Amino acid sequence: MLERRRKLWGWGYESRQAPPDEVEQIARGAREQLGFEPAEVEHPPRLEDIELPSPRLEPPAALAPICTSEPYERVTHAYGKAYRDLVRALRGRFDNPPDVVAYPRDEAELEQVLDWCSSAGAAAIPYGGGTSVVGGVEPRVPQAAAVTIDLGRLDRVLDIDPVSRAARIQAGATGPALEQQLKEHGLTLRHYPQSFEYSTLGGWIATRAGGHFATLQTHIDDFVESIRALTPSGVWESRRLPGSGAGPSPDRMLIGSEGILGVITEAWVRVQEAPRFKVSASVSFARFAEGAEAVRALAQSGLYPSNCRLLDPGEAALTGASRDGALLVLGFESADHDLEPWMARAEELCRDFGGESRRKGSGEGTWRDAFVGAPYLRDHLIAAGILAETFETAITWDRFDGFVAEVRERAATALGPEGRLTCRLTHAYPDGAAPYFTVLAPARRGSELEQWDEIKAAASEAIESAGGTITPHHAVGRDHRPWYDRQRPDPFAEALRAAKAAVDPKGILNPGVLVDP
Protein backbone atom coordinates (compact mmCIF):
# COMPACT_ATOMS: atom_id res chain seq x y z
CA MET A 1 0.00 0.00 0.00
CA LEU A 2 3.04 2.29 0.07
CA GLU A 3 4.96 3.37 -2.98
CA ARG A 4 8.23 1.65 -2.20
CA ARG A 5 7.83 -1.91 -1.07
CA ARG A 6 9.90 -3.40 1.69
CA LYS A 7 11.59 -6.71 1.09
CA LEU A 8 9.59 -9.76 1.99
CA TRP A 9 12.52 -10.83 4.16
CA GLY A 10 15.37 -8.85 5.63
CA TRP A 11 16.39 -5.24 5.80
CA GLY A 12 15.34 -2.59 3.33
CA TYR A 13 13.36 -1.96 0.19
CA GLU A 14 12.90 -4.47 -2.60
CA SER A 15 15.04 -2.27 -4.83
CA ARG A 16 18.00 -3.10 -2.62
CA GLN A 17 17.49 -6.87 -2.77
CA ALA A 18 20.88 -8.48 -3.43
CA PRO A 19 20.83 -11.21 -6.12
CA PRO A 20 21.17 -14.78 -4.78
CA ASP A 21 24.73 -15.27 -6.05
CA GLU A 22 25.88 -12.10 -4.29
CA VAL A 23 24.24 -13.30 -1.09
CA GLU A 24 26.02 -16.65 -1.45
CA GLN A 25 29.35 -14.95 -1.98
CA ILE A 26 29.09 -12.53 0.93
CA ALA A 27 27.68 -15.19 3.22
CA ARG A 28 30.51 -17.65 2.51
CA GLY A 29 33.10 -14.91 2.80
CA ALA A 30 31.75 -13.87 6.18
CA ARG A 31 32.04 -17.36 7.62
CA GLU A 32 35.55 -17.63 6.30
CA GLN A 33 36.58 -14.27 7.70
CA LEU A 34 35.17 -15.18 11.10
CA GLY A 35 36.91 -18.55 11.01
CA PHE A 36 33.65 -20.51 11.12
CA GLU A 37 33.31 -23.82 9.25
CA PRO A 38 31.60 -23.48 5.86
CA ALA A 39 27.84 -23.96 5.94
CA GLU A 40 24.95 -24.00 3.54
CA VAL A 41 23.55 -20.59 2.63
CA GLU A 42 19.82 -20.32 3.11
CA HIS A 43 17.45 -18.24 1.03
CA PRO A 44 14.21 -16.65 2.15
CA PRO A 45 10.90 -18.25 1.25
CA ARG A 46 8.78 -17.05 -1.64
CA LEU A 47 5.54 -15.42 -0.68
CA GLU A 48 3.51 -18.20 -2.24
CA ASP A 49 5.26 -20.79 -0.08
CA ILE A 50 4.34 -19.11 3.20
CA GLU A 51 1.31 -20.54 4.98
CA LEU A 52 -0.63 -17.99 6.92
CA PRO A 53 -3.59 -18.54 9.24
CA SER A 54 -6.74 -17.02 7.76
CA PRO A 55 -7.60 -13.49 8.80
CA ARG A 56 -9.98 -13.59 11.75
CA LEU A 57 -11.75 -10.35 11.08
CA GLU A 58 -12.71 -8.06 8.26
CA PRO A 59 -12.76 -4.30 8.29
CA PRO A 60 -16.07 -2.47 8.06
CA ALA A 61 -16.90 -1.22 4.59
CA ALA A 62 -15.93 2.35 5.42
CA LEU A 63 -12.41 1.27 6.33
CA ALA A 64 -11.94 -1.27 3.54
CA PRO A 65 -10.10 1.19 1.25
CA ILE A 66 -7.32 1.70 3.80
CA CYS A 67 -7.17 -1.88 5.06
CA THR A 68 -5.61 -4.96 3.59
CA SER A 69 -5.23 -8.61 4.44
CA GLU A 70 -2.99 -9.40 1.49
CA PRO A 71 -0.38 -12.01 2.40
CA TYR A 72 2.52 -9.71 1.47
CA GLU A 73 1.25 -7.06 3.88
CA ARG A 74 0.52 -9.51 6.68
CA VAL A 75 3.93 -11.14 6.28
CA THR A 76 5.89 -7.92 6.20
CA HIS A 77 4.06 -6.62 9.27
CA ALA A 78 4.30 -9.81 11.32
CA TYR A 79 7.70 -9.14 12.85
CA GLY A 80 10.21 -6.48 13.63
CA LYS A 81 13.86 -6.94 12.69
CA ALA A 82 15.33 -8.82 15.63
CA TYR A 83 17.56 -11.79 14.92
CA ARG A 84 14.80 -14.09 16.14
CA ASP A 85 12.35 -12.35 13.81
CA LEU A 86 14.58 -12.81 10.80
CA VAL A 87 15.25 -16.46 11.60
CA ARG A 88 11.58 -17.28 11.94
CA ALA A 89 10.75 -15.42 8.75
CA LEU A 90 13.60 -17.17 6.92
CA ARG A 91 11.98 -20.51 7.81
CA GLY A 92 8.61 -19.23 6.62
CA ARG A 93 7.23 -19.39 10.14
CA PHE A 94 4.49 -16.80 10.69
CA ASP A 95 2.35 -17.90 13.62
CA ASN A 96 0.93 -14.52 14.58
CA PRO A 97 0.66 -12.23 11.59
CA PRO A 98 -1.75 -9.34 11.88
CA ASP A 99 -5.17 -10.16 10.55
CA VAL A 100 -5.48 -6.77 8.94
CA VAL A 101 -3.00 -4.01 8.15
CA ALA A 102 -4.53 -0.52 8.18
CA TYR A 103 -2.96 2.52 6.51
CA PRO A 104 -4.81 5.56 7.87
CA ARG A 105 -4.25 8.70 5.83
CA ASP A 106 -5.26 11.12 8.55
CA GLU A 107 -6.27 11.27 12.18
CA ALA A 108 -9.94 10.85 11.39
CA GLU A 109 -9.24 7.52 9.73
CA LEU A 110 -6.94 6.52 12.56
CA GLU A 111 -9.69 7.28 15.03
CA GLN A 112 -12.09 5.12 13.02
CA VAL A 113 -9.60 2.27 13.05
CA LEU A 114 -9.22 2.54 16.83
CA ASP A 115 -12.99 2.64 17.25
CA TRP A 116 -13.32 -0.43 15.10
CA CYS A 117 -10.65 -2.29 17.09
CA SER A 118 -12.41 -1.32 20.30
CA SER A 119 -15.78 -2.56 19.18
CA ALA A 120 -14.34 -5.67 17.54
CA GLY A 121 -12.19 -6.51 20.57
CA ALA A 122 -9.11 -6.56 18.38
CA ALA A 123 -5.61 -5.58 19.40
CA ALA A 124 -4.34 -2.40 17.73
CA ILE A 125 -0.61 -2.36 17.07
CA PRO A 126 0.96 0.93 16.05
CA TYR A 127 3.65 0.37 13.42
CA GLY A 128 6.24 2.85 12.21
CA GLY A 129 9.24 1.48 10.35
CA GLY A 130 8.85 -2.03 11.67
CA THR A 131 12.46 -2.01 12.81
CA SER A 132 11.80 -3.10 16.38
CA VAL A 133 14.39 -5.54 17.69
CA VAL A 134 12.42 -6.39 20.83
CA GLY A 135 9.16 -7.85 19.58
CA GLY A 136 7.50 -4.46 19.88
CA VAL A 137 5.28 -4.81 16.81
CA GLU A 138 4.66 -8.55 16.84
CA PRO A 139 0.99 -9.44 17.29
CA ARG A 140 1.53 -11.90 20.13
CA VAL A 141 -1.63 -10.72 21.88
CA PRO A 142 -4.40 -12.23 23.96
CA GLN A 143 -7.10 -10.76 21.74
CA ALA A 144 -8.84 -12.90 19.13
CA ALA A 145 -7.52 -10.73 16.33
CA ALA A 146 -4.93 -8.07 15.64
CA VAL A 147 -4.90 -4.98 13.46
CA THR A 148 -1.53 -3.47 12.68
CA ILE A 149 -1.76 0.27 12.10
CA ASP A 150 0.95 1.34 9.68
CA LEU A 151 1.53 5.09 10.00
CA GLY A 152 3.46 5.21 6.72
CA ARG A 153 1.01 7.54 5.05
CA LEU A 154 1.44 10.18 7.71
CA ASP A 155 4.86 11.17 6.48
CA ARG A 156 4.82 14.94 6.06
CA VAL A 157 6.61 17.83 7.65
CA LEU A 158 3.56 19.97 8.35
CA ASP A 159 5.01 23.17 9.76
CA ILE A 160 8.33 24.86 10.06
CA ASP A 161 9.11 27.47 12.70
CA PRO A 162 12.47 28.85 11.61
CA VAL A 163 12.59 31.34 14.47
CA SER A 164 12.30 28.77 17.24
CA ARG A 165 14.04 26.16 15.10
CA ALA A 166 11.25 23.65 15.40
CA ALA A 167 9.17 21.57 13.02
CA ARG A 168 5.84 19.80 13.24
CA ILE A 169 6.27 16.40 11.68
CA GLN A 170 3.90 13.49 11.20
CA ALA A 171 4.71 10.34 13.11
CA GLY A 172 5.08 8.10 10.06
CA ALA A 173 7.84 10.14 8.42
CA THR A 174 11.02 8.10 8.06
CA GLY A 175 14.45 9.57 8.70
CA PRO A 176 15.21 10.30 5.02
CA ALA A 177 11.68 11.59 4.35
CA LEU A 178 11.76 14.11 7.15
CA GLU A 179 15.35 15.16 6.54
CA GLN A 180 14.60 15.76 2.87
CA GLN A 181 11.65 17.99 3.72
CA LEU A 182 13.60 19.83 6.41
CA LYS A 183 16.51 20.37 4.03
CA GLU A 184 14.31 22.53 1.81
CA HIS A 185 14.26 24.96 4.71
CA GLY A 186 17.96 24.69 5.48
CA LEU A 187 17.24 22.69 8.62
CA THR A 188 17.99 19.24 9.97
CA LEU A 189 16.93 17.11 12.91
CA ARG A 190 20.19 15.15 12.99
CA HIS A 191 18.76 12.13 14.72
CA TYR A 192 20.46 9.12 13.19
CA PRO A 193 19.70 5.78 14.75
CA GLN A 194 21.06 2.77 12.87
CA SER A 195 17.55 2.17 11.54
CA PHE A 196 17.42 5.74 10.18
CA GLU A 197 16.45 4.77 6.61
CA TYR A 198 13.24 3.04 7.67
CA SER A 199 12.33 3.98 11.21
CA THR A 200 9.98 6.87 11.86
CA LEU A 201 9.65 9.87 14.11
CA GLY A 202 6.70 8.28 15.90
CA GLY A 203 8.62 5.08 16.40
CA TRP A 204 11.63 6.96 17.73
CA ILE A 205 9.49 8.79 20.27
CA ALA A 206 7.58 5.68 21.28
CA THR A 207 10.81 3.77 21.87
CA ARG A 208 13.12 6.53 23.17
CA ALA A 209 15.47 5.95 20.27
CA GLY A 210 19.12 6.90 20.61
CA GLY A 211 20.59 8.93 17.82
CA HIS A 212 23.49 10.81 16.37
CA PHE A 213 24.81 12.72 19.32
CA ALA A 214 27.11 11.01 21.78
CA THR A 215 26.54 13.69 24.42
CA LEU A 216 23.71 16.08 25.35
CA GLN A 217 20.91 15.17 22.89
CA THR A 218 21.60 11.44 22.99
CA HIS A 219 17.96 10.43 22.56
CA ILE A 220 14.97 11.65 20.58
CA ASP A 221 13.61 12.56 24.03
CA ASP A 222 15.84 15.61 24.00
CA PHE A 223 14.45 16.93 20.70
CA VAL A 224 10.77 16.64 21.52
CA GLU A 225 8.98 19.92 22.08
CA SER A 226 5.42 18.58 22.09
CA ILE A 227 3.54 15.46 21.08
CA ARG A 228 0.11 14.72 19.71
CA ALA A 229 -1.34 11.24 20.11
CA LEU A 230 -4.71 9.59 19.70
CA THR A 231 -5.84 7.49 22.62
CA PRO A 232 -9.08 5.54 22.85
CA SER A 233 -10.13 8.27 25.31
CA GLY A 234 -9.36 11.22 23.07
CA VAL A 235 -6.54 13.41 21.85
CA TRP A 236 -3.45 13.72 24.04
CA GLU A 237 -1.72 16.86 22.85
CA SER A 238 0.80 18.85 24.77
CA ARG A 239 1.68 22.50 24.26
CA ARG A 240 4.69 23.68 22.36
CA LEU A 241 6.89 24.82 25.19
CA PRO A 242 10.66 25.24 25.38
CA GLY A 243 10.52 24.20 29.03
CA SER A 244 7.86 23.72 31.66
CA GLY A 245 7.52 22.91 35.31
CA ALA A 246 3.80 22.21 35.34
CA GLY A 247 3.49 18.80 36.96
CA PRO A 248 5.08 15.63 35.66
CA SER A 249 5.82 16.09 31.95
CA PRO A 250 2.98 14.77 29.77
CA ASP A 251 5.53 14.27 26.98
CA ARG A 252 7.79 12.19 29.17
CA MET A 253 4.91 9.82 29.79
CA LEU A 254 4.39 9.28 26.06
CA ILE A 255 8.11 9.13 25.30
CA GLY A 256 8.91 5.45 25.68
CA SER A 257 5.28 4.39 25.97
CA GLU A 258 5.74 1.99 23.03
CA GLY A 259 2.21 2.34 21.76
CA ILE A 260 0.43 1.24 24.92
CA LEU A 261 -1.09 4.63 25.79
CA GLY A 262 -1.91 6.04 22.40
CA VAL A 263 -0.89 6.27 18.77
CA ILE A 264 1.49 9.17 18.27
CA THR A 265 0.39 11.07 15.17
CA GLU A 266 2.73 14.04 15.11
CA ALA A 267 5.24 15.96 17.16
CA TRP A 268 6.97 19.31 17.26
CA VAL A 269 10.68 18.62 17.39
CA ARG A 270 13.68 20.90 17.83
CA VAL A 271 15.66 21.15 14.62
CA GLN A 272 18.87 22.96 13.77
CA GLU A 273 20.88 24.47 10.99
CA ALA A 274 23.15 22.03 9.24
CA PRO A 275 26.61 22.17 10.80
CA ARG A 276 29.10 24.35 8.93
CA PHE A 277 32.03 23.61 11.21
CA LYS A 278 33.18 20.07 11.78
CA VAL A 279 36.33 18.68 13.22
CA SER A 280 36.97 15.04 13.84
CA ALA A 281 39.76 12.77 14.98
CA SER A 282 40.58 9.13 15.53
CA VAL A 283 42.23 8.60 18.86
CA SER A 284 44.05 5.32 19.49
CA PHE A 285 44.39 3.85 22.96
CA ALA A 286 46.44 0.87 24.05
CA ARG A 287 43.44 -0.66 25.77
CA PHE A 288 39.68 -0.19 26.00
CA ALA A 289 39.97 0.73 29.69
CA GLU A 290 42.18 3.75 28.97
CA GLY A 291 39.85 4.81 26.18
CA ALA A 292 36.92 4.59 28.56
CA GLU A 293 38.77 6.77 31.05
CA ALA A 294 39.23 9.35 28.32
CA VAL A 295 35.54 9.16 27.41
CA ARG A 296 34.71 9.78 31.05
CA ALA A 297 36.99 12.80 31.14
CA LEU A 298 35.43 14.12 27.93
CA ALA A 299 31.89 13.54 29.18
CA GLN A 300 32.67 15.39 32.40
CA SER A 301 34.55 18.23 30.71
CA GLY A 302 31.59 20.24 29.45
CA LEU A 303 33.02 20.15 25.90
CA TYR A 304 30.09 18.12 24.57
CA PRO A 305 31.54 16.33 21.54
CA SER A 306 28.90 15.33 19.01
CA ASN A 307 30.68 12.07 18.37
CA CYS A 308 32.50 10.16 21.09
CA ARG A 309 32.28 6.50 20.18
CA LEU A 310 34.86 4.16 21.63
CA LEU A 311 35.44 0.85 19.81
CA ASP A 312 37.17 -1.97 21.63
CA PRO A 313 40.09 -3.63 19.78
CA GLY A 314 37.85 -6.40 18.43
CA GLU A 315 35.27 -3.99 17.05
CA ALA A 316 37.92 -1.62 15.71
CA ALA A 317 39.53 -4.51 13.83
CA LEU A 318 36.24 -5.99 12.62
CA THR A 319 35.05 -2.69 11.15
CA GLY A 320 38.46 -2.02 9.65
CA ALA A 321 38.82 1.14 11.70
CA SER A 322 42.05 0.18 13.41
CA ARG A 323 44.39 -2.76 13.43
CA ASP A 324 45.24 -2.83 17.09
CA GLY A 325 44.17 -1.16 20.28
CA ALA A 326 40.93 0.64 21.04
CA LEU A 327 39.77 3.49 18.87
CA LEU A 328 37.84 6.59 19.82
CA VAL A 329 35.90 8.27 17.03
CA LEU A 330 35.78 11.84 18.24
CA GLY A 331 34.02 14.76 16.61
CA PHE A 332 32.62 18.21 17.17
CA GLU A 333 30.13 20.02 14.95
CA SER A 334 28.50 23.43 14.96
CA ALA A 335 26.51 25.72 12.72
CA ASP A 336 27.86 28.68 14.65
CA HIS A 337 31.55 28.59 15.43
CA ASP A 338 34.92 27.09 14.72
CA LEU A 339 35.62 24.20 17.06
CA GLU A 340 39.37 24.09 17.13
CA PRO A 341 39.61 25.18 20.81
CA TRP A 342 37.11 22.46 21.71
CA MET A 343 38.98 19.72 19.85
CA ALA A 344 42.37 20.90 21.09
CA ARG A 345 41.25 20.54 24.70
CA ALA A 346 39.57 17.20 23.96
CA GLU A 347 42.83 15.87 22.50
CA GLU A 348 44.70 17.07 25.57
CA LEU A 349 42.29 15.11 27.76
CA CYS A 350 42.82 12.02 25.58
CA ARG A 351 46.59 12.36 25.85
CA ASP A 352 46.25 12.17 29.64
CA PHE A 353 45.19 8.56 29.08
CA GLY A 354 47.76 7.75 26.42
CA GLY A 355 45.50 8.54 23.47
CA GLU A 356 47.16 9.26 20.14
CA SER A 357 45.04 11.50 17.98
CA ARG A 358 44.94 11.63 14.23
CA ARG A 359 42.82 14.32 12.59
CA LYS A 360 40.82 13.28 9.60
CA GLY A 361 38.22 14.58 7.24
CA SER A 362 35.91 11.86 6.06
CA GLY A 363 36.51 9.29 8.77
CA GLU A 364 33.22 9.89 10.46
CA GLY A 365 31.38 9.46 7.16
CA THR A 366 33.08 6.12 6.54
CA TRP A 367 32.16 4.92 9.98
CA ARG A 368 28.57 6.07 9.49
CA ASP A 369 28.29 4.26 6.16
CA ALA A 370 29.44 1.06 7.83
CA PHE A 371 27.03 1.72 10.69
CA VAL A 372 24.02 2.23 8.43
CA GLY A 373 25.08 -0.71 6.26
CA ALA A 374 25.33 -3.16 9.14
CA PRO A 375 21.68 -4.31 9.07
CA TYR A 376 22.03 -5.17 5.37
CA LEU A 377 25.13 -7.20 6.12
CA ARG A 378 23.32 -8.97 8.93
CA ASP A 379 20.84 -10.46 6.46
CA HIS A 380 23.73 -12.17 4.74
CA LEU A 381 25.20 -13.37 8.01
CA ILE A 382 21.89 -14.93 8.98
CA ALA A 383 21.61 -16.56 5.56
CA ALA A 384 25.08 -17.93 6.21
CA GLY A 385 24.01 -19.49 9.48
CA ILE A 386 25.66 -16.92 11.66
CA LEU A 387 24.00 -15.72 14.81
CA ALA A 388 24.39 -11.96 14.74
CA GLU A 389 22.94 -9.94 17.56
CA THR A 390 23.58 -6.90 19.67
CA PHE A 391 22.73 -6.04 23.22
CA GLU A 392 23.28 -2.78 24.94
CA THR A 393 22.95 -1.08 28.27
CA ALA A 394 24.04 1.91 30.31
CA ILE A 395 25.92 2.00 33.59
CA THR A 396 27.51 4.56 35.89
CA TRP A 397 31.27 5.07 35.69
CA ASP A 398 32.02 3.75 39.18
CA ARG A 399 30.79 0.30 38.14
CA PHE A 400 31.88 0.47 34.52
CA ASP A 401 34.99 -1.75 34.36
CA GLY A 402 33.66 -4.59 36.47
CA PHE A 403 30.27 -4.42 34.82
CA VAL A 404 31.62 -4.70 31.27
CA ALA A 405 33.92 -7.55 32.29
CA GLU A 406 31.06 -9.43 33.92
CA VAL A 407 28.70 -9.01 30.96
CA ARG A 408 31.45 -10.00 28.54
CA GLU A 409 32.28 -13.12 30.49
CA ARG A 410 28.74 -14.35 30.93
CA ALA A 411 27.82 -13.64 27.33
CA ALA A 412 31.01 -15.28 26.07
CA THR A 413 30.23 -18.43 28.03
CA ALA A 414 26.79 -18.59 26.45
CA LEU A 415 28.23 -17.88 22.99
CA GLY A 416 30.61 -20.82 23.08
CA PRO A 417 34.28 -21.02 22.11
CA GLU A 418 33.80 -19.95 18.50
CA GLY A 419 31.74 -16.90 19.37
CA ARG A 420 32.98 -13.35 18.90
CA LEU A 421 31.99 -10.57 21.22
CA THR A 422 32.93 -6.94 20.70
CA CYS A 423 31.98 -3.77 22.50
CA ARG A 424 31.69 -0.09 21.78
CA LEU A 425 30.44 2.89 23.75
CA THR A 426 27.65 4.66 21.90
CA HIS A 427 26.72 7.47 24.28
CA ALA A 428 28.67 9.20 27.00
CA TYR A 429 27.28 10.94 30.07
CA PRO A 430 28.96 12.76 32.94
CA ASP A 431 27.90 9.91 35.21
CA GLY A 432 28.26 6.91 32.93
CA ALA A 433 28.18 5.44 29.47
CA ALA A 434 26.21 3.14 27.21
CA PRO A 435 28.14 -0.02 26.25
CA TYR A 436 26.87 -1.75 23.12
CA PHE A 437 27.89 -5.36 22.54
CA THR A 438 27.88 -7.18 19.21
CA VAL A 439 27.97 -10.96 19.17
CA LEU A 440 28.66 -13.33 16.29
CA ALA A 441 28.64 -17.10 16.52
CA PRO A 442 27.91 -20.10 14.30
CA ALA A 443 24.15 -20.61 14.48
CA ARG A 444 22.81 -23.94 15.67
CA ARG A 445 20.75 -24.56 12.56
CA GLY A 446 17.21 -25.52 13.40
CA SER A 447 17.45 -24.43 17.00
CA GLU A 448 18.54 -20.83 16.52
CA LEU A 449 15.77 -19.52 18.74
CA GLU A 450 16.83 -21.68 21.67
CA GLN A 451 20.44 -20.68 21.10
CA TRP A 452 19.43 -17.02 20.96
CA ASP A 453 17.33 -17.42 24.09
CA GLU A 454 20.35 -18.75 25.99
CA ILE A 455 22.64 -15.94 24.88
CA LYS A 456 20.02 -13.26 25.35
CA ALA A 457 19.17 -14.55 28.80
CA ALA A 458 22.82 -14.79 29.85
CA ALA A 459 23.55 -11.24 28.72
CA SER A 460 20.32 -9.83 30.09
CA GLU A 461 20.75 -11.53 33.46
CA ALA A 462 24.26 -10.14 33.67
CA ILE A 463 23.08 -6.65 32.78
CA GLU A 464 20.08 -6.66 35.07
CA SER A 465 21.72 -8.22 38.08
CA ALA A 466 24.75 -5.94 37.87
CA GLY A 467 22.55 -2.86 37.92
CA GLY A 468 22.46 -1.76 34.28
CA THR A 469 19.41 -0.92 32.24
CA ILE A 470 17.94 -3.65 30.10
CA THR A 471 17.70 -1.15 27.28
CA PRO A 472 19.28 2.23 26.75
CA HIS A 473 17.63 2.87 23.38
CA HIS A 474 16.10 -0.27 21.85
CA ALA A 475 12.90 -0.28 23.91
CA VAL A 476 11.36 -3.04 26.01
CA GLY A 477 8.78 -4.53 23.68
CA ARG A 478 7.83 -8.10 24.47
CA ASP A 479 11.33 -9.59 24.50
CA HIS A 480 12.81 -7.52 27.33
CA ARG A 481 9.87 -7.88 29.69
CA PRO A 482 11.38 -10.36 32.20
CA TRP A 483 14.31 -8.07 32.96
CA TYR A 484 12.42 -4.81 32.59
CA ASP A 485 9.91 -6.04 35.14
CA ARG A 486 12.73 -6.53 37.64
CA GLN A 487 14.35 -3.21 36.81
CA ARG A 488 11.43 -0.84 37.18
CA PRO A 489 10.09 0.26 40.56
CA ASP A 490 6.98 -1.75 41.50
CA PRO A 491 4.79 1.25 42.41
CA PHE A 492 5.74 2.79 39.06
CA ALA A 493 4.56 -0.37 37.31
CA GLU A 494 1.25 -0.07 39.15
CA ALA A 495 1.01 3.59 38.20
CA LEU A 496 1.73 2.83 34.54
CA ARG A 497 -0.78 -0.01 34.42
CA ALA A 498 -3.42 2.27 35.93
CA ALA A 499 -2.54 5.09 33.54
CA LYS A 500 -2.95 2.74 30.60
CA ALA A 501 -6.26 1.44 31.90
CA ALA A 502 -7.47 5.03 32.21
CA VAL A 503 -6.77 6.02 28.61
CA ASP A 504 -7.20 2.58 27.02
CA PRO A 505 -9.92 0.98 29.13
CA LYS A 506 -10.35 -2.01 26.80
CA GLY A 507 -6.64 -2.66 26.68
CA ILE A 508 -6.47 -2.78 22.89
CA LEU A 509 -3.22 -0.85 22.40
CA ASN A 510 -0.13 -3.03 21.85
CA PRO A 511 -1.05 -5.53 24.57
CA GLY A 512 1.82 -7.26 26.32
CA VAL A 513 4.29 -4.47 25.77
CA LEU A 514 5.69 -2.83 28.94
CA VAL A 515 2.82 -4.07 31.12
CA ASP A 516 0.64 -7.14 31.18
CA PRO A 517 -2.62 -6.89 29.28
Query: What is the distance between the alpha carbons of residues 474 and 454, in angstroms, rounded to a whole number?
Result: 19
Query: What type of residue sits at position 467?
Result: G
Q: Give, as ranges, the residues between 150 and 169 that touch a second copy (CB under 8 A).
A: 161, 163-166
Binds a second copy by CB under 8 A, chosen from 170, 181, 207, 284: 207
**Least separation, in Å, of the C-beta of 482 and a second copy?**
12
Pairing type for strands 356-360 and 277-285 reads antiparallel
Closest CA to 141 of 202, 99, 89: 99
**384 near a second copy, judged by CB under 8 A:** no
CB 328 within 8 A of CB 354: no
**334 near a second copy, judged by CB under 8 A:** yes
**516 near a second copy, judged by CB under 8 A:** no
Binding segment for a second copy (CB under 8 A), chosen from 77-85, 107-115, 249-257, 372-380, is 249-257
**Least separation, in Å, of the C-beta of 110 and a second copy?**
15
**14 near a second copy, judged by CB under 8 A:** no
Our CB check for a second copy shows the closer of 368 and 488 to be 488
Our CB check for a second copy shows the closer of 91 and 488 to be 488
**246 near a second copy, judged by CB under 8 A:** yes
H/E stretch holding 392 reads: strand 386-392
Our CB check for a second copy shows the closer of 103 and 342 to be 342
The torsion region of residue 383 among left (phi > 0), alpha (psi -120 to 50) and beta comes to: alpha
Binds a second copy by CB under 8 A, chosen from 317, 370, 372, 496: 496
H/E stretch holding 32 reads: helix 20-34
Binding segment for a second copy (CB under 8 A), chosen from 53-61, 65-73, 370-378, 461-469, is 461-469
CB 485 within 8 A of CB 493: yes
Binds a second copy by CB under 8 A, chosen from 397, 403, 437, 452: 397
- Reduced to 3 states (helix: H, G, I; strand: E, B; else coil), residue 282 is strand
Query: What is the distance between the alpha carbons of residues 212 and 365, in angstroms, rounded to a whole number?
Result: 12
**266 near a second copy, judged by CB under 8 A:** no
Binds a second copy by CB under 8 A, chosen from 96, 119, 180, 244: 244
**Least separation, in Å, of the C-beta of 347 and a second copy?**
12
**Least separation, in Å, of the C-beta of 269 and a second copy?**
10
**Least separation, in Å, of the C-beta of 50 and a second copy?**
33
DSSP string over 110-151: HHHHHHHHHHHT-EEEEESSS--SSSTT----SSS-EEEEE-
Binds a second copy by CB under 8 A, chosen from 115, 352, 494, 516: 494
**472 near a second copy, judged by CB under 8 A:** yes
Binds a second copy by CB under 8 A, chosen from 171, 350, 414, 475: 475
Question: Which burial class, exposed, middle or buried, applies to 3 when counting CB atoms under 10 A from its CB (0-12, 13-18, 19+)?
Answer: exposed
Compose the 224-243 pattern: x for residues touching a second copy by CB under 8 A, - for all others: -x-----x-xxxxxxxxxxx
**Least separation, in Å, of the C-beta of 475 and a second copy?**
6
CB 206 within 8 A of CB 172: no
**361 near a second copy, judged by CB under 8 A:** no
Our CB check for a second copy shows the closer of 83 and 332 to be 332
Binds a second copy by CB under 8 A, chosen from 252, 360, 368, 506: 252
Query: What is the distance between the alpha carbons of residues 225 and 248, in angstroms, rounded to a whole number?
Result: 15
CB 264 within 8 A of CB 202: yes
The DSSP call for residue 64 is G
Q: Give, as ranges, the residues between 400 and 459 that touch a second copy (CB under 8 A).
A: 427, 429-434
3-state secondary structure 419-474: CEEEEEEEEEECCEEEEEEEEEEECCCCCHHHHHHHHHHHHHHHHHHCCCCCCCCC
Q: Give, as ranges, the residues between 269 and 328 that touch a second copy (CB under 8 A).
A: 270, 272, 296, 300-304
Closest CA to 271 of 163, 155, 167, 156: 167
Our CB check for a second copy shows the closer of 230 and 384 to be 230
Our CB check for a second copy shows the closer of 152 and 432 to be 432
Our CB check for a second copy shows the closer of 255 and 321 to be 255
